[in-house]
Amino acid sequence: MKFRIVLFVSLFNAFMAFTQIKHGLRDEAGRHIIPRGFVVNTNDHKGEIFFNSDDYTRMVRMGANTQVIRLELGKLSIFPGGRLEQDYLMKLDTLVNLGKNSGMKTVFKMTVYGVDKFIWEEFWLNKNNEYQTYIEAWKVIWNRYTDDPSVLGYDIVNEPRKLTMDISYDRLTKKYLIPLYQRIIDESQKINADKKILLQSIFMNKGEGIDNNQYAEITAPINRENIIFAPHIYQNKIDFIKPVMDRFDQESQMLNAPILIGEWGFPTFATTDTLISGNFGQLKYRELYIRTAEVFDQMGVGSIKAWFLGNRTMQNFLPGGPSTWAIFSDKKAVGTVERKYITDIIARPYPQTIAGDIQSFMYHHATRSLDLNIKPDNEKGASKIFIGANRHYPDGFSVLIDDDIYLYHNPLKNIDLEVYKVPKDVDPHNYIWDDSSQKLIILKWPEGRNRLKIRIVPGIRNFETSKE
């Protein structure tokens, strides 16, 4: 019996290692990509926020290949108090170009901020043609970026609400939300059919969450192509992370849409920066974020963290006191002092772009090692793996591919990767360490291999000793 159990576990692990993950996306070349990055806000409670190229370099060096720009409905529409602002459009152009110049894709997310009032109950009933007014705001963005390949897509309704409507969440979703999504998608695809449309579910009223999940389940298909399911997860109970993500996975199957987590990460309390242990202490946050990251990696989903901001404002809606989603602690619009108890987890190593199919990957925080299994396809071009050596491997790192390619990087030497062992038919110059972006670039995988097992591990001591 013991042998049978061990054999079953071994076969199961082997199956999982060589079963392609169903999430992630494909780029223009057909490469498998995992989108990861940050929400970029254009304002906060104290006013305008402006970013520069240095900020985007920092995002890239934290593993970002995607930004989500929060749009303000009040600066794009004629809802009460709103108007189309040309200066705002130019600001958006700047953010898109900053991302493009840094090698990042852009997703736009529409929020209902900036208008005098936005009443969800009135919006759903659409008595004053609110849907069309909303779509006209989106058309400004669609027409402006239809020919820009760096714009990946549009998150069309951010955290839709029910509030006081006398209707179930399931009925609201089927009667109002899904038809609205279909209408918006159809209008968008008349202008830019190649762009992705990101979809969320109803944000439930306070206290009505299920399994500590504040987002209602989508239980009917949308029957549209080129869509992405983009749920948010702000889970603060570690035992619910996997069940919530499993439910999202079921919804994605029903929608026939891959998952990209649109926002994640329980907000940080004002006291957390000085409180090491305890309910809201840093150790608790590390444990919570690590478990969330593990589930994301196991599923192969991309994820966008809120927010790439400093701590000049806080909100006070949680029992623990003032809190924020900002990942920097200094009181600036765009901070620089990292909350490293969460940023080191956000900026963990992962496969960004793979020429071929990603079959599984996982970063192990305890051992600082990345395990990656792929099915390579050199016809699709180069591959990129974010390493983040500046924070995760100050002692250097080694690259192990199958059992016969060993490369390593010694941070004390001002050189690229060094070679410990490669087969005669493998050119080590195809493996490049890009220190500026903290990425390993693979120009070409070894030929004649249907599967590859790649490991990134800390240290170079064993190799250095072996060479002496």
**Exposed, middle or buried: residue 275 (CB in 10 Å: 0-12, 13-18, 19+)?**
middle
In a domain, 332, yes or no: yes
User: Closest Cα to residue 327, out of 275, 266, 238?
Assistant: 266
Cα separation, 93 vs 177, in Å, equals 30
Cα separation, 62 vs 104, in Å, equals 12
**pLDDT in the model for residue 213:** 92
| Residue 286: CB atoms within 10 Å | 16
| Residue 194: CB atoms within 10 Å | 11
Are 86 and 232 in a shared domain? yes
Are 373 and 449 in a shared domain? yes
Where a domain ends, among 297, 313, 347? 347
**pLDDT in the model for residue 18:** 41
Cα separation, 242 vs 168, in Å, equals 26
In a domain, 15, yes or no: no
Cα separation, 32 vs 12, in Å, equals 24
At residue 58, φ and ψ (nearest 5 deg) are -65, -40
Where a domain ends, among 284, 312, 347? 347
Are 315 and 230 in a shared domain? yes
In a domain, 11, yes or no: no
CA end-to-end span of the chain, whole Å? 48
Beta bridge partners of 409: 397
Are 133 and 243 in a shared domain? yes
Are 121 and 212 in a shared domain? yes
Where do the H-state alpha helices sit in 372-460? 389-392
Where a domain ends, among 310, 328, 347? 347
Cα separation, 184 vs 393, in Å, equals 46
Are 266 and 289 in a shared domain? yes
Token pair for 413? 């030497």
| Sheet bearing 418-421, strands edge to edge | 356-364, 369-376, 452-458, 397-401, 405-409, 418-421
Are 123 and 229 in a shared domain? yes
Q: Which helix (H) or strand (E) holds 16?
A: helix 2-17
Are 247 and 322 in a shared domain? yes
In which domain, by residue range, is 398 found?
Answer: 356-467
In a domain, 7, yes or no: no
| Angstrom distances, CA of residue 124 to CA of 102, 158, 185, 216 | 39, 14, 17, 16
| Residue 300: CB atoms within 10 Å | 22
C-beta of residue 371 within 8 angstroms of C-beta of residue 13: no
pTM, full prediction? 0.93
In a domain, 137, yes or no: yes
Are 361 and 343 in a shared domain? no
In a domain, 55, yes or no: yes
Cα separation, 449 vs 428, in Å, equals 17
C-beta of residue 214 within 8 angstroms of C-beta of residue 254: no
Pairing, β 66-72 against β 105-111: parallel
Cα separation, 439 vs 12, in Å, equals 31
Token pair for 230? 């983009």
**pLDDT in the model for residue 14:** 38
In a domain, 149, yes or no: yes
Pairing, β 321-324 against β 315-318: antiparallel
E-strand ranges in 287-388 read 302-305, 315-318, 321-324, 350-354, 356-364, 369-376, 383-386
Are 155 and 130 in a shared domain? yes
What CATH number is given to the structural domain containing 453?
Answer: 2.60.40
In a domain, 10, yes or no: no
Are 172 and 78 in a shared domain? yes
Q: What pLDDT tens digit does each residue of the chain (468 aa) get?
A: 433 333 333 333 433 344 458 898 999 999 999 999 999 999 998 999 999 999 999 999 999 999 999 999 999 999 999 999 999 999 999 999 999 999 999 999 999 999 999 999 999 999 999 999 999 999 999 999 999 999 999 999 999 999 999 999 999 999 999 999 999 999 999 999 999 999 999 999 988 988 889 999 999 999 999 999 999 999 999 999 999 999 999 999 999 999 999 999 999 999 999 999 988 999 999 999 999 999 999 999 999 999 999 999 999 989 899 999 999 999 999 999 999 999 999 999 999 999 999 999 999 999 999 999 999 999 999 999 999 999 999 999 999 999 999 999 999 998 899 999 999 999 999 999 999 999 999 999 999 999 999 999 999 855 555 554
Are 365 and 342 in a shared domain? no
User: Closest Cα to residue 59, out of 51, 48, 70, 50?
Assistant: 51
What CATH number is given to the structural domain containing 156?
Answer: 3.20.20.80
Number of domains in the chain: 2
